[in-house]
Structure 1
Amino acid sequence: MNPDSRHLESVLHSDIPLTREMGVEVLDWQDRCLRLRLPLAANVNHKSTMFGGSLYCAAVLAGWGWLHLRLRELGVDDGHIVIQEGQLSYPLPVTGAAIAQCLPPEDKVWERFIATYQRRGRARLTLRTQVFNAGSEAPAVNFSGQFVLHR
């Protein structure tokens, strides 16, 4: 685990205590891609699959964490990140550990987001995350969330 990953896991566990109970681990932050892991045991439902609410949290946390780390790289530390809106689909059940992944938006979208924040002190960014069964390439969850950064 690199220092950025350790930092984010510490922030999540201290600022959002639920993440500790869910067993959220930051797997890695590489090439502007964030990956989190959730164990099934702490997030199981009555069907012995992962609880939908835990999957929603994983998707939101991957986006929130991505934005937190990306802003940290730029030295932007005067803002607060909140989720404003999210849409989610569950095409497959998660039957074991879950891997939540957030990839970067297009450079042009990111640059506009940062410029808007610097100018107005508030900006919105849509991030897409997916959650997979560990070891699978087929997404079990597709999420699109609008995050707001404000001073």
Structure 2
Amino acid sequence: MNPAAALALEQLLHHDIPLTRDMGVKVIDWQAHRLRLHLPLAPNVNHKSTLFGGSLYCGAVLAGWGWLHLRLREAGIEDGHIVIQDGQISYPLPVRSDAVACCTAPEQAAWARFLTTYQRRGRARLELHTYISEQGSDAQAVRFIGQFVVHR
């Protein structure tokens, strides 16, 4: 685990994306190229006493954005601006408690292509997969596929 990177990411999110403070987003850990974020129910609750779909979408995007931010830093790239270009989300299960948003590494070949393209052109696109589960559960309540673009 890299607690310093996790803390730095949480501070960055709260500073650069103030909505994350109001949502109560916390970085749980950054380990083995997997990022996990905590999404509390209370500040994100809807009229059905479940986590609001917009908060779930935001949490899924943030997990992907944060994952890419951390991996770029590990690769020594600090001049890139990350944006979400496109995202598809499904909500197969309601989230009735605090949740965990998790983004894992894409295939190594996809990451290598992404880095090569970015270094050559100053712009590259990467597809990342995020899922959200209720805290303490392995059942994927939300599945997200995002196209992230990094440009100089």
Cα distance, 1:57 vs structure 2: 0.3
Cα distance, 1:75 vs structure 2: 1.1
State the match for 2:118 in structure 1.
Answer: 117
Report the residue type matching 2:106 in the other structure: P
Normalised by the size of structure 1, how large is the TM-score?
A: 0.99
Alpha-carbon distance in structure 2 between the residues aligned to 1:32 and 1:101:
11
Alpha-carbon distance in structure 1 between the residues aligned to 2:119 and 2:75:
12
State the match for 1:82 in structure 2.
Answer: 83
Aligned length in residues = 151
1:43-100 deviation digits (Å, cap 9, x = unpaired): 0000000000000000000000000000011110011000000000000000000100
Runs (4 or more) in structure 1 with deviation over 2 Å come to: none
Alpha-carbon distance in structure 2 between the residues aligned to 1:77 and 1:110:
16
Query: 1:2-151 to 2 correspondence within 5 Å?
Result: 2-151=3-152
Report the residue type matching 2:119 in the other structure: Q
Normalised by the size of structure 2, how large is the TM-score?
A: 0.98
Tell me, what secondary structure is at the counterpart of 1:125? strand
Alpha-carbon distance in structure 1 between the residues aligned to 2:70 and 2:140:
23
Alpha-carbon distance in structure 2 between the residues aligned to 1:78 and 1:12:
17
**CA root-mean-square deviation:** 0.7
Tell me, what secondary structure is at the counterpart of 1:95? coil
